[in-house]
Structure 1
């Protein structure tokens, strides 16, 4: 009987753990949803993961935003391997959070930008959405800015706020780790050495709307290590030189310490609070 009891407890623990993991990729039921008094709260925010991203990429962050800042993870949008879009949940009226998941894990920013454009078209057609905020992590930041420079002009949805977390804007390889972290020095005119992705964005940066607001977050593990273990502060803040003219507001934030590592930046309470303050003015 003792072994049976132990087995049942273990089974229950496994079921609970699997349920929690599964829930990271599902919308949460909307509770206490009201029309927002603050117009900022009525604009949904989309979260785009990095290379090989999954439900863990933003799942826990979205749950924390729900608990601490009254947001609603009310919708999950999945893009299957054939580019078909599947929506679960429905949009809350205030502080709606939308998790984006790509089944094709190795897809590149150029392909993801097309899907992002299609997602926004769907949100506009089906839900009447006219404005959104975008939050990207790692390669997801490149997806966002590739969309802004190559896809957004043909759409009817305006992007109001962008949060870039550990964006490899001047990395030689934006989807894989290199032996050394790219950290090309920054001059008054920009990076002294400009990688292909930087040059590609620079060619079409004039397409970005001038009223957009950008928060650029980078990690720095220590004074001796000026990067997050994957992306350097210099690479992330190369975006500064691309956006010097086109945008209304541009802000930078450096997260420091062990919890500023690349894989922990989206599990950092300072990042959570910074997103809430920047997007909803909390």
Structure 2
């Protein structure tokens, strides 16, 4: 009798173990090693989100330079913690990362620069990238530049190959230290008026990565202000003085109503300039 009971117990144990094995959660496969690929990270402006990047990313996909499965999002929480939304595979083509600051206020530029590093580290640990491109609109450029001030010499991080600045305000915005026609640039590119932020970024002149090529796109409404309505062209072009170590630098001006500061990331001309710079062989 005892033997019979023992048989029944053993049978139940085997059955339960089998059912648990069938229904237990399956751990996710390890992310593929995509170290040979070069992702492009998009950083949006203040009081905004990844949605400001959708038009440019859509244009890239429409041109066949990337695809839906190659686009993921990096959500950055208010404490700087990063969560990746979506997964890249071995079939990924020109991976794109839409950086999304959930607390979309750039009142602490240095903090957002540190969080940019958190994004890069998360991507590196997940996909083992060795090189990357950085694209910023408006204050997104500031996040990128602060990141570079502190990490350009860090050989343990992916190497920056290309940087695109869109509507950048390196030396102030209109009404806050920068006024139409007040800011002037010397032949070297150095501005005659230097804000506290620009002074801090001067460190880039000694540490900016020599590997990087830079494309600086700025808008001009052609209404006499020499600006995109928010940032003077001189403030945007003052980037050149900061990235003097870059092996290549280009300024590109866009004009018209679509050149307004908040419309630059929804501009077909900007799309073309961006794609030709990032992926010239297509």
Superposition TM-score, scaled by structure 1 size: 0.79
Q: Which residue does the alignment assign to 1:86?
A: 83
Q: 3-state SS of the aligned residue for 1:161? A: strand
Change (3 A) 1:115 1:267: same
1:62-211 equivalences under 5 Å are 62-72=57-67, 73-91=70-88, 93-107=92-106, 108-154=108-154, 155-171=156-172, 178=176, 181=179, 183=181, 184-189=183-188, 190-211=190-211
What is the CA-CA distance between 1:156 and the residue it aligns to?
2.0
* Residues 135-192 of structure 1: CA deviation (Å, up to 9, x unaligned): 000111111111111134334211100000010011068xxx6497465011224111
Q: Matches of 2:160 and 2:105 in 1, distance apart?
A: 26
Q: Which residue does the alignment assign to 2:249?
A: 250
Question: Is there any run of 5+ residues in structure 1 with no aligned partner, and where?
Answer: 1-34
90-99 or 178-187, larger mean C-alpha shift? 178-187
Q: Matches of 2:96 and 2:233 in 1, distance apart?
A: 27
Q: Which residue does the alignment assign to 1:46?
A: 41
What is the CA-CA distance between 1:241 and the residue it aligns to?
1.6
Q: Which residue does the alignment assign to 2:232?
A: 232
Change (3 A) 1:204 1:280: closer
What is the CA-CA distance between 1:116 and the residue it aligns to?
1.3
Q: Matches of 2:65 and 2:203 in 1, distance apart?
A: 40
* Residues 237-258 of structure 1: CA deviation (Å, up to 9, x unaligned): 00112223x1100000000111
* Residues 116-137 of structure 1: CA deviation (Å, up to 9, x unaligned): 1121112111111111100000
Aligned residues between the structures:
239
Question: Is there any run of 5+ residues in structure 2 with no aligned partner, and where?
Answer: 1-33
Query: Larger C-alpha radius of gyration, 1 or 2?
Result: 2
What is the CA-CA distance between 1:45 and the residue it aligns to?
0.2
Any conservation in 1 of the 2:205–2:241 contact (CA below 8 Å)? Answer: no
Q: 3-state SS of the aligned residue for 1:153? A: coil
Q: Matches of 1:116 and 1:134 in 2, distance apart?
A: 10
Q: 3-state SS of the aligned residue for 2:262? A: coil
C-alpha RMSD over aligned residues: 2.1
Change (3 A) 1:204 1:161: closer
Q: 3-state SS of the aligned residue for 1:264? A: helix
Q: Which residue does the alignment assign to 2:221?
A: 221
Q: Matches of 2:120 and 2:177 in 1, distance apart?
A: 37
What is the CA-CA distance between 1:61 and the residue it aligns to?
1.8
Any conservation in 1 of the 2:180–2:225 contact (CA below 8 Å)? Answer: no
Superposition TM-score, scaled by structure 2 size: 0.79
Q: 3-state SS of the aligned residue for 2:210? A: coil
